[in-house]
Amino acid sequence: LLGNLGVQTDKIIVDPTTGGLGYGMEYSYSVMERISMAALTQEDDKLQVPMINNIGNEVWKCKEAGQGIEEAPTLGDPEKRPILMEAVAAVCFLMAGSDIVILRHPETVRMTRAFIDLMINGGMASDVKEISKRLEAGEADLVSLSPEPNLDFGEPEAAPKPEKKAATPKPEKKEEKPAPEPEKKAQPEPVSGVEAVAKKLDINLQELCKKVGCDVEDIEHTAKKHGLTIEQTLKKLGGIK
């Protein structure tokens, strides 16, 4: 839009600063990274401009920077708090590629310059002088403010039940095979009196019965009816004298 109004690119700077700490600083850091990537990787000439961060304005107007020890006892020393917030934001934005940072407190400027010197020349950050205080330090009773510890850990775990001993396997009973029964010898069928007499007379009883049309019972009945013996009856039927 500025280009459409006729503003030259070399007269434009970008200020992506939002918030002092927390999500606001993380958002600004991410936006600055994306601006640099688009300008260098995608060669977007609209984003190839300097970035400036007015940190002093954002930090010192936030609520946490002006709260005293009574209002925010858990946020630490109220004199050091905004200085540290400003210094942390300045270091983060410099790491994100900021070209200019605007600071307010002299102690913040000193600490930020010390960080830049350490990044260029090396050294130990522990050698940097601490923040000089001009106000009396207030004390907060953090013990009384801390909540009582919750010692309710629930019901104690039940003691593990003793493991049951594995039952000893019973010996397998061998199946007793029944003793083989002795083979019964086939008994010869009883021979009737008619058959015995026919055998004695050398007569084929089956052929005789077939020829005459009778059976053994008929022969016995005939012999009994006429008062004859079986032999006499067979002889008459067979035609034997």
In the chain, the domains with their CATH numbers are 9-130 (3.20.20.20), 193-238 (no CATH)
CB atoms within 10 A of CB 234: 21
The predicted structure's pLDDT at residue 20: 67
Closest CA to 108 of 127, 92, 124, 85: 85
Phi then psi for 105, rounded to 5 degrees?
-85, 140
The CA distance from 80 to 86, in Å, is: 10
What pTM does this model have? 0.56
The CA distance from 220 to 22, in Å, is: 132
Residue ranges of E strands in the chain: 52-53, 100-101
pLDDT tier at 191, thresholds 50, 70, 90: very low
The predicted structure's pLDDT at residue 184: 63
Token representation of residue 42? 């995608």
Token representation of residue 105? 């407190």
State the DSSP code for 41: T
Q: Which residues contact 9 (CB under 8 A, 6 or more apart)?
A: 3, 45, 46, 48, 49
The CA distance from 77 to 142, in Å, is: 13
CB atoms within 10 A of CB 84: 17
- For the segment 204-238, what is each residue's pLDDT rounded down to a tens digit? 778 877 887 778 788 788 888 877 887 887 777 77
- For the segment 120-165, what is each residue's pLDDT rounded down to a tens digit? 999 898 889 988 888 777 777 777 778 888 887 777 777 777 777 7
pLDDT tier at 99, thresholds 50, 70, 90: very high
The CA distance from 44 to 27, in Å, is: 21
